[in-house]
Structure 1
Amino acid sequence: MQTFRIIQPTPALKPFIRYYWILQDSTSGIVSQRTLPTGCISLVFHRGERLKVTNRNELQPHSFICGQESGYSDVTSTGDIEMIVVVFQPHAAKIFFRMPVTLLRDKNVAVADIENPALRDLAHRVEDSASHDTSIELIEDYFYKCLMSGTPYHLPRLTDVIRHINNFSQTNIKTLSDIACLSEKQFSRIFSENIGTTPKDFIRIVRLQRTLSVLQHNPGIGFAQLSYECGYTDQSHMIKEFKLFSGYTPKEYIARYSPVSDYFTF
């Protein structure tokens, strides 16, 4: 049996946290899933058995930060699943971890390996808490305490940049640096330190997520129209990018999965 819940953060945390999700699955047998880059950094707590990342041949840590990803991963269950996951706004994770989040790219970094006693204590308390609701309360209390030490100076300009990327299927670094009122060199450095990947790669990931969203809501769309709506130069460009990030062409992907955009849906 599987249950899945999306929980919205309190209004004060909404500028920093997109949502929380909770998954429980006691399905007998092995469950496999392909995950694609979402454009967001996550904090993951396993209260059940851990997942195996098969293409890296490694078990996920009990509690870990999942950095920005540049490609797909295949994960497989190893028993009963019980996960609580925090999905940050694209530009907000650095506020809570106090490090350049480029260091997390393409990594699952165990909370136990981070020099942050308060975060390690949170992980233990979430794993041992009596209920999911209590776990969310513990997590939100931790985030509130983090915010008491202030937010980064560049947060408002990065908020404007992310909003522009979300609203326009085509953009470029010059436009984004102008929105941020920074030189292109400054902008690229600050963006990467706060978002965890380069502006160019982030735009490509959001374009992938936009493609999934259009396929989700308009499954009958032609690929030529799809590539135009999502900001690709042409259909062949879309197919190449989609396969790079997912391992499949769009046609192959929708034959195997129901397209859902984690970035634009929740």
Structure 2
Amino acid sequence: MIYQTYQPRLARSATPKEPPLSQFIEFLWMREGDNLPQSQSRLLPIGSMELVVNLHEDKIPLFDCHSRALIGSTNGSMLCGAHSQGFIINNERKISVMGVHFKPGGSASFFALPAGELHNQRVSLDELWQGRATELRDRLLEESTWEARFLVLERFLLMVMQPLARYSAVDFALREFDRSPASTVSAVTDKVGFSARHFNKIFRDQVGLTPKLFCRIRRLQQVLDLISSKNQVDWTDIAITCGYFDQAHFIHDFRMFTNCTPTEYLVQRGFHPCHVVLLD
């Protein structure tokens, strides 16, 4: 299986008023493989949105997160809203998929509706772009190399990007949370000068999650990054390093977002820290 990422490099123009794509997007990615083990995986919350294009077939199946049964599908292009719970995907024997990993709050320049309306949702991209998603998928399929496909995707995103209003208070909060994961929501709210209720609303409109939920998910991501190359882990040390009150608090949060214990996660994690391979 091949997995590659690509850093956006282009801007719509050279003027300071036109921000580069990299201001809103962390990276583009691709996954491709043949004769892979067929299974299901749980994708863990990441705190931001993800755009996915299935180039193998023009649909993406959806599964119930508890029973793991098939409950429907989207078209071959899908937008995953910011999630606070994991969701199930199928790992087929043959895959050919591309995607866009938005920065937290970065999707606001590409989709008109508030990000909070897509919380824990996965929707066909055509519902949001009114046919443009089919155009994008067709143009990607016309190219035979991943390098060319990355360029097509990058240019397409520049074309649909809109200079929508962003909240400077939210951008400030995201920088604070990234700079110091231990920052409390109340401390950051005090700095921006808004009431907690108003700040929660504008943060959720841009990011898709409330500030408190966002920070809990990002702290989980910090845990997964710290243990990504380890098979033996001192969980007490991890809990302290990542700012949990105690090990019980850590285990509670971990199980809430991953649906497994820390020990089970080490056994079942997949090719990416946010993929947990589900056992039959």
Aligned to 1:224: 236
Aligned to 1:152: 165
**Structure 1 contact 212–259 (Cα < 8 Å) conserved:** no
Matched, 1:7 2:6: yes
Give unmatched runs, 5+ long, in structure 2. 11-19, 275-280
Task: Quote the Cα distance in structure 1 between the aligned partners of 2:77 and 2:185.
Answer: 35
Matched, 1:116 2:130: yes
Moved more, 51-60 or 33-42: 51-60
Matched, 1:208 2:216: no
Aligned to 2:34: 26
**Structure 2 contact 43–88 (Cα < 8 Å) conserved:** yes
Q: TM-score, normalised by structure 1?
A: 0.87
Task: Quote the Cα distance in structure 1 between the aligned partners of 2:165 and 2:196.
Answer: 19
Deviation, structure 1 residue 192: 0.3
> For residues 218-266 of structure 1, what are the alpha-carbon distances to aligned partners after superposition, in whole Å with 9 as ceiling and x for unaligned?
654422221111121110011011011111111221132269556xxxx
> For residues 119-147 of structure 1, what are the alpha-carbon distances to aligned partners after superposition, in whole Å with 9 as ceiling and x for unaligned?
44323322444433333222222322344
> For residues 138-194 of structure 1, what are the alpha-carbon distances to aligned partners after superposition, in whole Å with 9 as ceiling and x for unaligned?
2222322344x424241x432321122123232332222234343322211110011
Task: Label 1:99 to 1:56 Cα distance change in 2 as closer, same or farther (>3 A).
Answer: farther
Matched, 1:184 2:192: no
**Structure 1 contact 24–81 (Cα < 8 Å) conserved:** yes
- RMSD of the alignment, in Å? 2.4
Percent identical among aligned pairs is: 23
Task: Quote the Cα distance in structure 1 between the aligned partners of 2:184 and 2:264.
Answer: 30
**Structure 1 contact 160–179 (Cα < 8 Å) conserved:** no
Deviation, structure 1 residue 113: 2.2
Question: Greater share of helix residues, 1 or 2?
Answer: 1
> For residues 180-215 of structure 1, what are the alpha-carbon distances to aligned partners after superposition, in whole Å with 9 as ceiling and x for unaligned?
343322211110011011111111110111111122
Task: Label 1:170 to 1:10 Cα distance change in 2 as closer, same or farther (>3 A).
Answer: same
Q: TM-score, normalised by structure 2?
A: 0.83
